[in-house]
Amino acid sequence: MTEYEPVIGLEVHAELLTESKMFCGCRVVDSVEAPPNTAVCPVCLGMPGMLPVINRRAIEMAMRVALALNCTIQPHNVFARKNYFYPDLPKAYQISQYELPLAINGWVDIDIDADQPEKRQKRIYIRRVHLEEDTGKLTHLENGHGSLIDFNRSGVPLLEIVSEPDMNSIPETRNYAMKIRQILRYLGVNSGDMEKGVIRFEANVSLRPAGSTQLGTRTEIKNLNSFRALTDAIAYELDRQQELLDAGKEIVQDTMGWSEARRETFSQRGKEEAHDYRYFPEPDLPPLAISAAWVEEVKISLPELPDAKMARYLTEHNITPYEANVLAEERPVAEWYEATVAADGDPSAVANWMINVLFSFMNEHKLTIEQIKVTPAGLVELLSLIEAEIINNNTAKEVLAIMFTTGRSAQEVVDERGLAQISDEEQIATLIAQVLDDNPEQVRDYLQGKEQLRGWFVGQVMRSSRGKANPTLVNKLLTMQLSSLKEA
Ligand code: ADP
Ligand code: MG
Ligand code: ZN
């Protein structure tokens, strides 16, 4: 039987976090919290005779994304009418871009296997990035009692990022989608809040005989709202196509929906072509000219992106690839880490304390790094207390936990609770002598060769000092006392 290879192209729709809508002055409101139909006006309700005006900020945000995705910004942009009827689209056309999109020919590198830090990368090419307006939101009532419509979303700037059919597996597609989401969040143009529907995917899926360079007939799955829906829908569709091909049948080009309930794709309308939409240039908007100077201005304002950050952490900070990856993942985390290093924190120690201690406190208390009371300078102070052997690692963890809940500084916590390490040799020698005195049996066993009891003695001394004895000194002085016992 013929072996087939999956070919997948993805369209990502992302709402832009502008203050106002794409073509009117209505506020962009939270789709879940705002009461329905409270951020609407004649323009976004599609009343006759109303005129759209382009939102400059939306164009700028779209340019940020396009440039971060290595696209070429086109100097001459034209908005187009995409005509179709649906109850969530009051004008019966959507203002979009068709022949002359904002940007073309970009690329992004994705991890082929995200679980491997020494990952191999693959370059996915991006065909186009363009702007359009979002539609209203329909909610179909159960048991067929009709549908509700909320036009708050109508006219919200929507960015569409269209890839080439360059993905050849589900993990690749998922990693590509996650990478796009990460970049959108880094640029501050989208919250990445999938539950609120601010990013939606459309997957184009086909199969071709392995090794072939021709594209097979594709189906397009619309409106996938989560990574899970994305991957499950593609898996289902690949299986369905495989079965058809194995049975010697043909794939029919189609637009599909995804049923969350039945976990299967279903045909929505049969073959759909661009000419069905009767695209034509939007007569109510002038062409949009984008000057080279504007492009340059936006380019300069771009933040350092995750891949560049990760590479820099590896060379400049000499932390592990795993650490660099985790710390570069989200911009606020990366910025916190960098602020800590800038405050003279040792990069390896900072990475270790953030990833292994701070993050677990954050998880436990369900806080983001922007919400915590510990500051970069605060962590550096804690590390300096360890460095100066005023506290040991275990005490430092306790101290950080208290800093985390109270916002007190490391020094304050150590002073208030008397947590400073005991580094007085005489005091430690006394503690050791006491432990050896109290445990004659263990001392006898040790002297008869049960060497592993040494660690137990250390533990007892640490306990009797309530964790405050300087471990290096405990080890040194214990060795001395035990060997003098041996000689006696
Ligand atoms: P439209 O959806 O408007 O018809 P295109 O034909 O340009 O637009 O394709 C949209 C998406 O489909 C792109 O992401 C592209 O990579 C992908 N695509 C096109 N042909 C195939 C194919 N045979 N298999 C998989 N994906 C495809
Ligand atoms: Mg499409
Ligand atoms: Zn409006």
**CB of 7 closer than 6 angstroms to any ligand 1 atom:** yes
**pTM confidence score:** 0.87
* CA of 83 relative to ligand 3 center, distance in Å: 20
Q: Which ligand is nearest to the CA of 44?
A: 3
Domain boundaries, the chain: 4-297, 304-417, 425-487
* pLDDT one-digit tens code per residue, 442-478: 999 999 989 899 999 999 999 998 888 888 899 999 9
Q: Which ligand is nearest to the CA of 42?
A: 3
* CA of 151 relative to ligand 3 center, distance in Å: 9
| Bridge pairing between strands 254-259 and 219-224 | parallel
Whole-number mean pLDDT of the chain?
A: 93
CA angle 224, 228, 232 (to 5 degrees): 80
- pLDDT over 90 (residue 417): no
Q: Which ligand is nearest to the CA of 219?
A: 1
* pLDDT one-digit tens code per residue, 284-327: 999 999 999 999 999 999 999 999 999 999 999 999 999 999 99
* CA of 23 relative to ligand 3 center, distance in Å: 7
* pLDDT one-digit tens code per residue, 43-92: 999 999 999 999 999 999 999 999 999 999 999 999 999 999 999 999 99
* CA of 56 relative to ligand 1 center, distance in Å: 29
The CATH code for residues 425-487 is: 1.10.10.410
Looking at ligand 1, which residue's alpha carbon is closest to its atom 17? 9
Greater confidence, 1 or 139?
139
Give the neighbor-by-neighbor strand order of the sheet with 219-224: 72-73, 103-111, 121-133, 157-163, 4-15, 199-209, 219-224, 254-259, 264-267
**CB of 215 closer than 6 angstroms to any ligand 1 atom:** yes
What does 249-271 look like in DSSP terms, one character per residue? PPPPPEEEEEETTTTEEEE-SS-
Dist CA 301 CA 220 (whole Å): 36
* CA of 11 relative to ligand 2 center, distance in Å: 7
Residue type, 70: N
**CB of 8 closer than 6 angstroms to any ligand 1 atom:** yes
